[in-house]
Amino acid sequence: MRHSTASLLFALALPLSALAQAPVRYQVAFPNAVHHEAQVTVTFSEIPSGPLQVRMARSSPGRYALHEFAKNVYDVQATDSKGKALNISHPDPYGWAVTGHDGTVRFTYTLFGDRTDGTYAGIDAQHAHLNMPATLAYAQGQEQRPVEVKFDAPAGWQIATQLRPETAPNTYSAPHMQYLMDSPTSLGNQQVRTWQEQGQTIELKVLHADTDAELDAYTEQTKKVVKEAAAIFGELPKYDFGRYTFVADYLPQASGDGMEHRNSTSVTSSRSLKGADALRNLSTVSHEFFHSWNVERLRPRDLEPFDFSRANMSSNLWFAEGFTQYFGDLLLRRSGAYSTDQYAAIAVSGLVNAMLNAPGAKLYSPVHMSQQAPFVDAAVSIDPNNRGNTYLSYYIIGGANALALDLELRQKYKTDLDAFMRAMWQQHGKLQRDYAPEKPYTLADWQRVLGEVTHDTAFAGQFFRQHIAGHTLPDFTSLLAPAGMVVRKAHAGQATLGNSGLRFDNKVLTISSATFRNDALYNAGLDRGDQLLKLDGKELKDQKTFDKLLSKHKPGDVVQLEARSRGQVRTVPVTLQEDIELEVVTLEKAGQQPTPEQLAFRAAWLDSKAK
């Protein structure tokens, strides 16, 4: 009876146009899972005359590059309602045109999938982890129809998904294609942990090889993260169907990944649920759960709605991903998973070091870095690039600016970034319609809300121009001082050839990537692929020899370096530099005693906010 009531409410929530249309029905089976294949059949009914254009997505929500999922589709066939074979043409790499139908097309294909992560499909005899854009074909003009999916699951496999369960076994529904494509699904021997939070169900559905006790401990840590995230916004989102699912595959064959979705997250890793591995997995959980507010409901206008036919560019990923990166780590500290020293060493040091030392951060803005996502977000190319000098991830440049803004708000305005996120949530995230935000935000909205929270529109405009649309670097030394934290050189006085990547390959020291602008090697005219043969006339035959020769020098020394550059051997003078790596430590770690005011500031920033 309870299920029937939910079905009625679900139907009432659909647009009238969807109620009048026959649903698109999928059937997904795994007759050859051991060889990473699924058999997919999709039935389109009550379709108008003329060719039916069936497509595979080219991109996926949460990913911004092209992935061309059609490359893993083959054995394509189509029949009408009577089983008659239909004509299929293949007009482009990612679509098929089906003609001669009688108003029904039954479209069948084999899908290959052997990558268990948040973007692709991973199928084997043990499990199936399915990202829907990589798995399910759709038809143009049918995107607003309701959807039904039936999984023919092998014996012993259970299903983890945010899709709404129907009365028929292993059958689920979605209001339309956008919702379907945002609904990752894992099939296998699920271990389930469920609890109630603010009247809603939170569940972990996990495939893993560890003990029940280790999963229980991991669940308790996850509960604390959930509470701390809700404390920032003052509430949980109103999850569709009252449920949020962590779709988790912690298996040896999984690739490390996390992908946010409206009422779930896909988290995959080959790491275990023990010790340091569990903490790294929890870091992904923390980041992705924060996304159920920021980017899933609090959503930029330039990503709404998501277009599956092309790469989706946004100017706002520094906020959507970067601020989430900052808060994901902060939740680990507030929940007790990190100590203060761990938080400083892992989270704060990582942001500060990258922001102040990456050449690209000195040249380009967070907005610009966001716009590069179609070229860097798991994008594939074979030609070398110069991103070491021109790019810093929008995760990092956004996270570093979030850190700086939070500290500045606390010092100057008696408010904090928590309050700013709550204001953004109330104005641009909380109100939803048809499973999408009523008022997706723009860059101008972001600046306006900052001015409202600080009651200082001049400051908001200046911060936006300098740090978001511009590339002014924050003064982290001053910003972190009130929290009793120190920015210092991690290897003071140590001479180096710069910050460019070096590796020994068959006993030859090779520059592995483009040298960084103004590094010692860059200034000496050396670059990617060059081989370093001798230093001070001594052959560089292994890492130990290289380190020993460098240790005899100090920054500023000029050494003679013999190198082979694209077939030519030459000796060049190189001015050694001091190692530029930075670290952030507490005053206590630095051998000093923080003041009561610094300890109070730190506590207000880092201590638990959950009640």
Query: What percent of the residues of the chain are helix, what percent strand, and what percent coil, each to the nearest 5?
Result: 35, 25, 40
pLDDT computed for residue 15 by the predictor? 45
Q: Are residues 554 and 474 in the same domain?
A: no
Q: Are residues 426 and 507 in the same domain?
A: no
- Residue 598: inside a domain, yes or no? yes
pLDDT in tens, 395-438: 999 999 999 999 999 999 999 999 999 999 999 999 999 999 99
pLDDT computed for residue 170 by the predictor? 98
Pairwise CA distance, residues 404 & 471, whole Å = 13
**Cis before 573 (ω within 30):** no
pLDDT in tens, 234-245: 999 999 999 999
pLDDT in tens, 451-475: 999 999 999 999 999 999 999 999 9
Pairwise CA distance, residues 270 & 249, whole Å = 8
Degrees (nearest 5) of the Cα angle 7, 10, 13? 150
pLDDT computed for residue 522 by the predictor? 97
Q: Are residues 323 and 441 in the same domain?
A: yes
Tokens 């050396």 correspond to what residue? 526
* Boundaries of domain holding 405: 301-482+591-606
Is residue 233 predicted with pLDDT exceeding 90? yes
Is residue 3 predicted with pLDDT exceeding 50? no
Residue 494: exposed, middle, or buried by beta-carbon count in 10 A (0-12, 13-18, 19+)? middle
Is residue 6 predicted with pLDDT exceeding 50? no
Categorize the per-residue pLDDT at 499 as very low, low, confident or very high, splitting at 50, 70 and 90: confident
- Residue 289: inside a domain, yes or no? no
The mean per-residue pLDDT over the stretch 521-538 comes to: 96
Closest by alpha carbon to 28, among 168, 137, 143? 137
pLDDT computed for residue 505 by the predictor? 85
Closest by alpha carbon to 247, among 264, 271, 225? 264
pLDDT in tens, 53-64: 999 999 999 999
- Residue 118: inside a domain, yes or no? no
Cβ-Cβ contacts under 8 Å for 241 (sequence gap 6 or more): 6, 10, 164, 263
DSSP β-ladder status, 264-269 and 243-250: parallel
In CATH, what number is assigned to the domain containing residue 400? 1.10.390.10
The helix/strand count (H/E) of the chain reads as 21, 30
- Residue 462: inside a domain, yes or no? yes
Mean pLDDT over each residue of the chain, to the nearest integer: 95
Pairwise CA distance, residues 308 & 69, whole Å = 11
pLDDT in tens, 535-590: 999 999 999 999 999 999 999 999 999 999 999 999 999 999 999 999 999 999 99
pLDDT in tens, 245-255: 999 999 999 99
Categorize the per-residue pLDDT at 352 as very low, low, confident or very high, splitting at 50, 70 and 90: very high
- pTM metric for this prediction: 0.95
Q: Max alpha carbon distance in the chain (Å)?
A: 85
Q: Are residues 330 and 465 in the same domain?
A: yes
In CATH, what number is assigned to the domain containing residue 522? 2.30.42.10
Q: Are residues 433 and 539 in the same domain?
A: no
Categorize the per-residue pLDDT at 20 as very low, low, confident or very high, splitting at 50, 70 and 90: low
Cβ-Cβ contacts under 8 Å for 90 (sequence gap 6 or more): 96, 97
Is residue 385 predicted with pLDDT exceeding 60? yes
Q: Are residues 323 and 449 in the same domain?
A: yes
Q: Are residues 596 and 559 in the same domain?
A: no
Pairwise CA distance, residues 181 & 142, whole Å = 14
pLDDT in tens, 265-312: 999 999 999 999 999 999 999 999 999 999 999 999 999 999 999 999
Residue 604: other Cβ atoms inside 10 A? 12
Is residue 17 predicted with pLDDT exceeding 90? no
Q: DSSP states of 312-372 as a string? A: ---S-HIIIIIIHHHHHHHHHHHTTSS-HHHIIIIIIHHHHHHHHH-GGGGTS-HHHHHHT
- Residue 41: inside a domain, yes or no? no
Pairwise CA distance, residues 560 & 524, whole Å = 10
Contact between residue 274 and residue 251 where contact means Cβ atoms under 8 Å apart: no
Q: Are residues 519 and 401 in the same domain?
A: no
State which amino acid sits at residue 284. Answer: T
- Residue 585: inside a domain, yes or no? no
Q: Are residues 465 and 520 in the same domain?
A: no
pLDDT computed for residue 335 by the predictor? 98
Cβ-Cβ contacts under 8 Å for 213 (sequence gap 6 or more): none
Contact between residue 365 and residue 470 where contact means Cβ atoms under 8 Å apart: yes
Closest by alpha carbon to 64, among 373, 394, 391, 381? 373
Total count of domains within the chain:
2
Q: Are residues 557 and 460 in the same domain?
A: no
Q: How many CA atoms lie within 13 A of 85 on its CB side?
A: 5
Q: What percent of the chain has pLDDT over 90?
A: 95
pLDDT in tens, 76-101: 999 999 999 999 999 999 999 999 99
Pairwise CA distance, residues 587 & 373, whole Å = 37
Q: Are residues 308 and 388 in the same domain?
A: yes
